[in-house]
Structures are given as structure tokens and as C-alpha cells.
């Protein structure tokens, strides 16, 4: 599709993958990557959203560590590299970069000015934080990691948030899931969906734990959510 350069708030710039729908201006979705970078899975996600009528953009949030990371989930070496990047990643700087992307997308000629976010894994965590720390119009997190350590920020949420939770997520313990439900479940702005028996990354096409039925259900819910809040 295309590439969009974003100016960071503290200097420097980074690139993002941009997918345009047939008709613009269009509602816009900021796609937040997994720990594998802006790889084919993330580009395919943007292309899927574009086919559904959204302008979709996935920024390279690992640029401060190393720009242009593109890994797969197919080899042990790549997994090791992905976790190394995850451990080096500065979450606060990442949110700054996502807010810069959000601001650029609001002004993009192809956008209707309404911008939401959707994130996966690490991106799911960041989508939750975008709900807490940005003015994004709606946010969706798929199997976000570490949310139980960030629940103190939930009082800052003023826009709709949807979270897709895998009940057998190997990276999110049952205790962590319980804390998330107890802290967020009664908030009218937050919708929680449990996917019974599903493991982490059940919506990653081609992944070890991909489940077509669960992924299709989550994706339909996401599209309905964005249709409601970004149109």
C-alpha cells in the first residue's frame, strides 16, 4: 500500500505502514504491532481493515531500538529476538510515539478525523494504555499482556474500550485475568469478552494457537465496535 512518516514528539521520525480504503475520508484505525515488528501479519491486518472501509496505519514502535524489525513466530531464534525487543521496549516512549501517530492520522487527508486503535499482545497492552493516556475515540486490545499491573490508570478512561481475553493465555495468569475483570468489568465504557479455552494469539493467522472460529468472532466484534464509535 503506502508508507507514512511520523515525526516523534522528542525529535526524530519513524515510518508506518498505511493501507487506504476505496472511499475517503474514512474512519481510521491505528494498528499496534505485536512483539514481531511491522511484519506481514500486521500489514495484512491493515489491509483487512482497509477492505472493511477504514484507513489503517501500523507504526514502527521499535524504531528507537532498531528500525524496520520484521520477525515471524516460526523459529526459536526469532522468538528470542522478539522477547529481547520486548524487554528493551520503553512503554512510555511507545505511547508518546502512538500519540504522535494518532495526531498525524487525525490530520491525514484520508481520515474523517475519528481515530481508534487496535493492538495485539504487546499492542493489546498499549491499546489499553491509549484508552488511559490518549484521546483516541475507541480502543481494542487482543490478549494484552501486563494489564493487571496497570489497572490504577483505568480511572482515566473516557472513551470506549474493548478487550479480548484468552482464558488459557500462557502469558496472562488466571489471577491476572481475575484482577482485570474485577477492576474493569463494572465500567460502562469497557467491554470484556472471554474466549474460553483459547491461548495467547488465537487471532494470529498461521500462528500456533490460531483458532479460526474464535478469531472470526473477535474480529466481528471489533468491526461492530469501530462501526459504532468511529463512523
Q: Which residues are catalytic?
A: 169, 200
Supply the DSSP string of 80-119, one letter for each residue.
Answer: HHHHHHHHH--HHHHHHHHHHHHHHHHH-TTEEEEEEEEE
CB contact at 8 A, 32 and 117 = yes
166's CB contacts (< 8 A; 6+ apart) are 143, 172, 195, 198, 199, 200, 202
Cell of 158: 473516557
Helices (H), 108-173: 122-133
Amino acid at each position: 500500500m503506502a508508507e507514512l512518516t511520523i515525526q516523534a514528539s522528542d525529535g526524530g521520525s519513524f515510518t508506518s505502514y498505511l493501507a487506504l480504503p476505496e472511499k475517503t475520508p474514512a474512519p481510521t484505525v491505528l494498528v499496534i504491532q505485536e512483539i514481531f515488528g511491522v511484519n506481514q501479519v500486521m500489514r495484512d491486518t491493515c489491509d483487512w481493515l482497509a477492505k472493511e472501509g477504514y484507513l489503517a496505519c501500523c507504526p514502527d514502535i521499535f524504531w528507537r531500538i532498531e528500525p524496520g524489525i520484521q520477525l515471524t513466530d516460526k523459529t526459536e531464534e526469532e522468538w528470542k529476538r522478539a522477547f529481547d525487543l520486548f524487554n528493551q521496549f520503553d512503554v512510555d516512549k511507545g505511547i508518546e510515539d502512538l500519540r504522535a501517530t494518532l495526531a498525524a492520522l487525525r490530520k491525514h487527508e484520508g481520515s474523517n478525523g475519528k481515530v481508534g486503535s487496535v493492538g495485539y499482545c504487546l499492542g493489546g497492552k498499549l491499546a489499553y494504555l491509549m484508552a488511559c493516556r490518549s484521546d483516541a475515540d475507541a480502543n481494542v486490545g487482543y490478549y494484552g499482556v501486563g494489564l493487571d499491573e496497570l489497572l490504577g490508570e483505568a480511572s482515566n478512561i473516557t472513551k470506549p474500550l474493548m478487550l479480548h481475553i484468552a482464558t488459557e493465555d500462557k502469558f496472562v495468569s488466571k489471577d491476572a485475568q481475575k484482577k482485570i475483570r474485577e477492576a474493569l468489568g463494572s465500567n460502562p465504557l469497557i467491554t470484556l469478552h472471554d474466549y474460553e479455552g483459547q491461548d495467547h494469539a488465537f487471532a494470529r493467522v498461521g500462528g500456533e494457537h490460531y483458532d479460526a472460529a474464535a478469531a472470526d468472532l473477535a474480529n466481528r466484534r471489533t468491526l461492530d465496535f469501530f462501526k459504532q464509535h468511529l463512523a
